[in-house]
Structure 1
Amino acid sequence: MSANERDDNKPSSIKGDDLVLPFQTVRSRISGRIVRLGDTVDRILKRHDYPDLVSEALGQALAMVALIGSGMKFDGRLILQTKSDGPLNFLVADFATPGSLRGYASFEKERFAALALSGANAMGQLLGNGHLAMTIDPGGDMERYQGLVALENSTLSEAAITYFRQSEQLPTFIRLAVARERSAASGGEWRWRAGGLMLQHVSHEGGRADEEIAAAEERGVMLGEEDDHWQRVSILASTVEDHELVDSTLSPERLLYRLFHEEGVRVQPARAISEYCTCSRERVSGFLSRFGSAELADMHEPDGTISVTCEFCSARYVFDPESLT
């Protein structure tokens, strides 16, 4: 389906949220994906009830892992994780094919409060210095693959772009946005929304000559970065506004048309996104049963029970210690 080949020269709307829409520009053959998260990200963020800045960071991570993970050509999981010396010292977002999301964050309350009082709201200050890890887990007996990139007071999107540049040699554009919107459908309740746009310049030609690669490296660029098509499309993409990425009244398809109608856009079937968690009472019980009696005794609540709360979905499991021995 091509967005600029309709009788009225305008795209029809794809209704609804919680989806990833893959696309390719017709003229320049640049591949991309756009993500729009509504109820899914709202449920995840409200359940955790983090401060707004932490929620925004986790919302961005969820949007980004959905953008990247939905491009996997096999069943498995993509885990995006940050570990840093900033007030937000740990962040994880987990995508499982074909379209399941979960995530949580850990932050130092006193340092975060000091940052909030200073009036600073830059994501780089929240994360600080550390690393961003992207782990691909194919499942089964297959080996995991993990790539790392430094966090140097950078945003998640900046770190991911650097990762693809260094590890995959792929020119990449990523823009992420998170906001709260008052929903008339829910009685005026404020609801979290997240969105993102990603482009990658994947060569459609055969292998490049070693001379071309060497010449590009001497200039400090990747093959494709100086390509006229890539520069034109990435400039068009950079005009997207944060509010457009999260606007519930602006469908992803219409936004793509707004950005790239001069290029032409061919969209592929949208992929649904939903929240998930792998925790269960049986899993938690099996984990606790590995501990000895003395270790279990240290876990007792004042009422004598043992309780475990899932970091991802906040489900709470309560056990009688005798049932674990």
Structure 2
Amino acid sequence: MTLGSRIAWDDTILPFQLDRSDIRGRVARLDGVLDAVLEQHDYPPEIEALVAEAALLTAMIGQTIKLRWKLSLQIRGDGPARLIATDYYAPTKDGAPARIRAYASFDKDRLEPRVNPFDQIGKGYFAILIDQGRDMTPYQGITPIAGGSLSACAETYFAQSEQLPTRFALSFGRSTERGSPESWRAGGIMLQHMPKASPFASGGGSGEGGLLEAQDIVDGDDEENWNRANKLLDTVEEMELVGPSVHPTDLLVRLFHEETPRIFDSQRVEFGCTCSADRVRQSLSIYSSKDIGTMTTDEGIVTADCQFCGAHYEFDPRTLGFEADVPPDDGE
């Protein structure tokens, strides 16, 4: 895709609400954060596309939840694309950016270049995990891989696990601007019916394998409002989603002016990893000195690499585990 003049809305998430329809939503635009996520690795195009889609979904979903710490997406399958994992870290204070990181595990020899990236996941599950920090019980919701895309999996998750009608319209890929190198860019819109005390759907749904879909959990005026908003979203064009020449507020007015859109403060997003030597040391604190010995290299050190950002750590094995007999060196 070739892009026009740039506006200052990259790497942001814009919350909005459609008052007439009782629907909330998000507009997301990612470019620099995607490049930062993907440049940590040398992924083939099929895996890059899955990571880009997962990161975009994570940005929008994470911003809808009042997080104290972290929301994660995990997509696991039995195909060549074994795992796509993302984390969204909530802002630590007002005005601070949210942070996103992501990585993939895949079997390079089994990848099929001319096959749809989603089909390379195979059978598996789509999971959302919410960690609200110390002394809080983590939450995990899981649905089967279904629907033909990661965004369809996310829609099924919200219908099946949360009873919330949800819709995503996404666009992502490599973009070029005159005089600039090729880079990744993604944009999308999320619609979600506002939570309410409605009857909990039971029995089989109309989705793949009997899974619930949005139409299974709305009726009456809610169904009419939901269908109307979705028909308006159907008119969005790919270049309107990815920008950067279309302002998100202008896009919302163009799509939903009859639904009385109300716009809230935007949220900045950046690449960020929480790995550190202390965190690695803590993760190894459950092991005995014998266990640590099996991790020690011929050079007499224990090494660890962050799968998200590629940071490399080296430790003196005597400083690791619950039987450590030498205090850690601050310079380690």
The TM-score normalised by the length of structure 1 is 0.82
Q: Distance in 1 between matches of 2:248 and 2:134?
A: 35
Partners of 1:81 and 1:91 within 8 A in 2? yes
CA drift at 1:203 = 5.5
Of the three residues 26, 30, 51, the one matched with 1:33 is 26
What do residues 8-39 of structure 1 show as CA deviations (whole Å, max 9, x unaligned)? xxxxx972311110111243332111111111
Q: Distance in 2 between matches of 1:171 and 1:88?
A: 28
Partners of 1:22 and 1:270 within 8 A in 2? yes
Equivalent in the alignment of 1:44: 37
Is 1:256 the counterpart of 2:252? The answer is yes
Farther off after superposition, 34-43 or 146-155 = 146-155
Q: Distance in 1 between matches of 2:127 and 2:137?
A: 16
Partners of 2:19 and 2:259 within 8 A in 1? yes
- Gap change, CA 1:224 and 1:60, over 3 Å in 2: farther
CA drift at 1:158 = 0.9
Q: Distance in 2 between matches of 1:145 and 1:178?
A: 29
Partners of 2:163 and 2:217 within 8 A in 1? yes
- Gap change, CA 1:307 and 1:74, over 3 Å in 2: closer
- Paired residues in the alignment total 299
Partners of 1:307 and 1:318 within 8 A in 2? yes
CA drift at 1:68 = 1.0
Is 1:273 the counterpart of 2:272? The answer is no
Where in structure 2 are there 5+ consecutive unaligned residues? 1-5, 92-97, 207-214, 325-332
Matches within 5 A, 1:91-240: 91-98=84-91, 99-112=98-111, 115-116=112-113, 119-123=114-118, 125-152=119-146, 154-184=148-178, 188-202=180-194, 207-208=197-198, 221-224=216-219, 227-240=223-236
What do residues 25-79 of structure 1 show as CA deviations (whole Å, max 9, x unaligned)? 2433321111111111110111122111111111111111111111112413211
Partners of 1:213 and 1:223 within 8 A in 2? no
The TM-score normalised by the length of structure 2 is 0.81
Partners of 2:83 and 2:105 within 8 A in 1? yes
Q: Distance in 2 between matches of 1:86 and 1:195?
A: 27
| Paired AA for residue 120 in structure 1 | V
| Paired AA for residue 216 in structure 2 | V
Q: Distance in 2 between matches of 1:159 and 1:198?
A: 14
Partners of 2:89 and 2:100 within 8 A in 1? yes
What do residues 91-113 of structure 1 show as CA deviations (whole Å, max 9, x unaligned)? 1111121322111110111111x
Q: Distance in 1 between matches of 2:224 and 2:7?
A: 31
CA drift at 1:291 = 4.0
Equivalent in the alignment of 1:5: none
Partners of 1:35 and 1:195 within 8 A in 2? yes
Partners of 1:180 and 1:192 within 8 A in 2? yes
Q: Distance in 1 between matches of 2:308 and 2:145?
A: 23
User: What CA RMSD, in Å, does the superposition of the two structures yield over aligned residues?
Assistant: 2.7
- Gap change, CA 1:282 and 1:183, over 3 Å in 2: farther
Equivalent in the alignment of 2:314: 318
Is 1:54 the counterpart of 2:47? The answer is yes
Secondary structure of the equivalent of 2:167? strand
Q: Distance in 2 between matches of 1:94 and 1:36?
A: 17
Partners of 1:14 and 1:252 within 8 A in 2? no
